Amino acid sequence: MSAAPLLSLHGVCKRYGAVEVLIDIDLEIRAGQVVALLGDNGAGKSTLIKVISGVTPADRGEIRWEGRPVHIRRPSDARELGIATVFQDLALCGNLDVVGNLFLGREIRRFGFLDEMEMERRTVQLLERLTRGVPELRAPVVALSSGQRQTVAIARSLLGGPRLLLLDEPTAALGLQQTTEVLDLVDELRDRGLGVLLISHNMGDVKALADRAVVLRLGRNNGFFDVNTVSQEQIISSITGATENEPRRPAHQEAAW
Ligand SMILES: Nc1ncnc2c1ncn2[C@@H]1O[C@H](COP(=O)(O)OP(=O)(O)OP(=O)(O)O)[C@@H](O)[C@H]1O
Ligand SMILES: [Mg+2]
């Protein structure tokens, strides 16, 4: 098999008080691969993304980055490894324009003043590289469509040149056209060699885009699938619990993947 995965989790656990939200989770994401993270509401998907992005660190288990054990205790740990996240709520500032949102917290300065020209130049450069343009860089983000806002949020996450992108339901609020645009963008990022972990409830999106699917059920692994060979029905029964898949560790499945 090729080089070590970009990211692998082994036996990751997370509890909130008495509630075990993630139990013994295994996961692997390789460079140039889109992994769909699936599961019913409350299955633990967003929590897992928060663990990987350092927002709520794991209680137990091992996380490896390119085969090397690492500790992700806070968001800066994840960022330094090259992990970027677009959370379910996007966390954009509606009253700021596109440039302002992209550089919020990492403004470029020149002689102590904000270098608006340089920030705008880089924004144009970045959004051009992402197939879809956002028409008005100086419009407040609240005036953009949901698809454009999603693009801005993804663009912002790409600023630091990440190698792994975590997307929590990026198409949930989007129409057909906008969904296609965001999925095209993810496709392009994979072509550029990024690893992507994509949470989605949309089976069509998953079949169209993902290479592999990982299903969580009640906080546990309930299936690892090669999207090219699995049927939609198999994935769905794994999500609903009609099939209780013996959670197999990714390493045992490598030949099949
Ligand atoms: N901060 C918290 N404190 C206590 N319990 C929490 C907290 N965050 C999440 N949970 C619980 O953990 C479980 C998993 O939540 P999580 O948000 O990860 O699910 P999800 O798979 O992302 O669901 P959805 O598809 O609805 O977004 C839920 O039962 C939820 O109530
Ligand atoms: Mg969620």
Q: What is the pLDDT along the chain (257 residues), one digit of tens a residue?
A: 568 999 999 999 999 999 999 999 999 999 999 999 999 999 999 999 999 999 999 999 999 999 999 999 999 999 999 999 988 777 777 788 888 888 887 788 888 888 888 888 888 877 776 655 566 778 888 888 777 888 888 888 888 889 999 999 888 877 787 788 788 889 989 999 999 999 998 888 899 999 999 999 999 999 999 999 999 999 999 999 877 655 554 544 443 33
State whether 127 and 242 are in the same domain.
no
Q: Is residue 121 part of a domain?
A: yes
Of the three residues 107, 129, 161, the one that is the final residue of a domain is 161
Largest CA distance in the chain: 63
What is residue 251's predicted lDDT score, i.e. its pLDDT? 45
Count of structural domains within the chain: 2
Of the three residues 146, 161, 176, the one that is the final residue of a domain is 161
Q: Is the CB of 67 under 6 A from ligand 1?
A: no
State whether 145 and 121 are in the same domain.
yes
Alpha-carbon distance of 198 to 150, in angstroms, equals: 14
Of the three residues 161, 190, 218, the one that is the final residue of a domain is 161
What is residue 241's predicted lDDT score, i.e. its pLDDT? 87
- pTM for this one? 0.86
Please report, for residues 1, 45, 212, 223, 227, the alpha-carbon distance to residue 253 in angstroms, rounded to integers and kept in the order given: 11, 22, 12, 11, 14
Q: Is residue 101 part of a domain?
A: yes
State whether 150 and 170 are in the same domain.
no
What is residue 19's predicted lDDT score, i.e. its pLDDT? 94
How far is the centre of ligand 1, averaged over its atoms, from the C-alpha of 21 (Å)? Answer: 7
* Nearest ligand for residue 47 CA: 1
State whether 14 and 40 are in the same domain.
yes
How far is the centre of ligand 2, averaged over its atoms, from the C-alpha of 101 (Å)? Answer: 23
State whether 124 and 231 are in the same domain.
no
Range of the domain at 126: 95-161
How far is the centre of ligand 1, averaged over its atoms, from the C-alpha of 178 (Å)? Answer: 27
Alpha-carbon distance of 248 to 246, in angstroms, equals: 6
Q: Is the CB of 47 under 6 A from ligand 1?
A: yes
Give the closest residue (by CA) to ligand 1 atom 16. 44
Q: Determine contact, residues 52/72, Cβ cutoff 8 Å.
A: yes
Give the closest residue (by CA) to ligand 1 atom 26. 41
How far is the centre of ligand 2, averaged over its atoms, from the C-alpha of 174 (Å)? Answer: 16
Q: Is residue 90 part of a domain?
A: no
What is residue 16's predicted lDDT score, i.e. its pLDDT? 94
State whether 71 and 192 are in the same domain.
yes
What is residue 153's predicted lDDT score, i.e. its pLDDT? 85
